[in-house]
């Protein structure tokens, strides 16, 4: 186990040398916090005394933000509206020394923004009581998508890996990914919220859906049925022509599918109950992509992503994992001084006979 962990540490230490191109639907996550004052006499709702409003990168922008905090050199390609949220995202990434030359500012288009209202009493944790989403009323402009495609092909030539984050707002499409695969030979990882199967025959290397997304694709229920997970995972792996499919399963950890290899189940790292899972999938694909870029096997990349995911779900709101945090967790596993509760025997387990040849 120690030798495996040393290998993971070596991979993580190489993250700052990796250049990652991110194609993304850029989203703003806004958090409005307030102290509960009283119940309104106008309606049975809480009145909050405003404390603060905080805006952070969300959606594909959160995946890029995690890459940055894990040490990567990031080129970000996408579009934002000519509005307060869009300019806030541009300012944020400029402040973190991320190249934003690939981001198109679109007049008349709305930057997707998810506003969460958090309420609590003095000296208590804030709880989410309401979420309001602002979304574009018009499709993503075709001219902007063409600009993004050209810029992506230019930047991909200098990238070590490509991360595509499709949240359904139109900046990232199967056609764009297919054209990019023809232009470069780099690992391409995909997180598609609603249209994963549309990316078949696009040249994607690996995808990272969560279990509910996999269930939704096949209108099926997995629950505690590993056989159902095996069937659905193998089906998606085969239909998409992937080299790896990493399914995140919340408190049940992860399942990694590869052609002609047994399915690998990785126990969750950290406490079994998450504090906040907002944006955890973005952290997972960021760490997974970086690890592949650094030369990791798919199992090694999945294990590093599992550590990163276990750390980030213990933070509130849309959060990131930093490279020092990841390295501290890995070194703590070796010394037994990990600050997080975890399962000591966290080695991957394999499903006997779980190979592509036996998949239904």
Q: Are 174 and 207 in contact (CB under 8 A)?
A: no
CA distance 264 to 4: 15
What CA–CA distance (Å, rounded) separates 106 from 188? 26
Closest CA to 113 of 29, 17, 22: 29
- 183 with 162: CB under 8 angstroms? no
**Could you tell me which residues come within 8 angstroms of residue 314 by beta carbon, excluding any fewer than 6 positions away?**
270, 271, 274, 275, 340
Instruction: Find the angle CA(320)-CA(322)-CA(323) to the nearest 5 degrees.
Output: 145
Return the percent helix, strand and coil in the chain, to nearest 5: 40, 25, 35
- Determine the Cα–Cα distance for residues 79 and 145; give it in Å rounded to an integer: 8
Q: Rounded to an integer, what distance in angstroms lies between the CA atom of residue 244 and that of residue 238?
A: 10
- According to DSSP, the β-strands at 206-207 and 188-192 are parallel
Stretch (H or E) spanning 223: none
Residue 327's nearest CA partner among 16, 1, 93 is 16
Instruction: Return the DSSP state at 75.
Output: E
Query: Catalytic: which of 69, 198, 282, 337?
Result: 282
Q: Give the end-to-end CA distance of the chain in Å, rounded to a whole number.
A: 33
Is-catalytic flag, 282?
Answer: yes
**Could you list the active site residues?**
282
């Amino acid at each position: 186990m120690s030798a495996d962990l040393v290998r993971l540490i070596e991979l993580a230490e190489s993250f700052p040398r990796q250049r990652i191109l991110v194609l993304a639907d850029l989203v703003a996550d806004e958090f409005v916090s307030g102290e509960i004052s009283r119940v309104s006499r106008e309606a049975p709702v809480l009145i909050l005394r405003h404390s603060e409003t905080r805006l952070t990168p969300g959606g594909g922008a959160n995946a890029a933000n995690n890459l940055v905090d894990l040490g990567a050199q990031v080129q970000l390609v996408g579009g934002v509206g000519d509005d307060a949220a869009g300019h806030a995202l541009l300012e944020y990434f400029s402040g973190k020394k991320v190249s934003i030359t690939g981001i198109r500012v679109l007049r008349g288009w709305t930057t997707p923004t998810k506003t969460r209202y958090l309420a609590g009493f003095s000296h208590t944790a804030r709880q989410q009581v309401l979420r309001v989403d602002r979304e574009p009323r018009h499709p993503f402009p075709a001219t902007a998508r063409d600009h993004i495609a050209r810029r992506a092909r230019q930047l991909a030539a200098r990238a070590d890996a490509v991360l595509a984050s499709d949240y359904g707002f139109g900046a990232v499409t199967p056609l764009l990914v297919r054209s990019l695969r023809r232009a470069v030979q780099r690992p391409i990882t995909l997180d598609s919220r609603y249209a994963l199967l549309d990316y078949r025959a696009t040249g994607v290397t690996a995808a990272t859906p969560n279990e509910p997304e996999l269930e939704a694709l096949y209108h099926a229920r997995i629950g505690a049925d590993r056989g159902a997970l095996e069937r659905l995972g193998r089906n998606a792996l085969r239909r998409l022509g992937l080299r790896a499919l990493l399914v995140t399963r919340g408190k049940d950890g992860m399942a990694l599918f590869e052609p002609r290899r047994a399915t690998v189940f990785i126990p969750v790292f950290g406490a079994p109950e998450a504090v906040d899972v907002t944006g955890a999938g973005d952290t997972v694909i960021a760490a997974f992509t970086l690890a592949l870029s650094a030369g990791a096997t798919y199992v090694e990349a999945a294990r590093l992503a599992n550590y990163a995911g276990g750390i980030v779900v213990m933070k509130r709101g849309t959060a990131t994992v930093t490279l020092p945090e990841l390295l501290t967790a890995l070194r703590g596993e070796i010394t037994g001084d990990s600050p997080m509760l975890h399962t000591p025997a966290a080695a991957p387990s394999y499903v006997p006979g779980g190979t592509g040849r036996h998949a239904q």
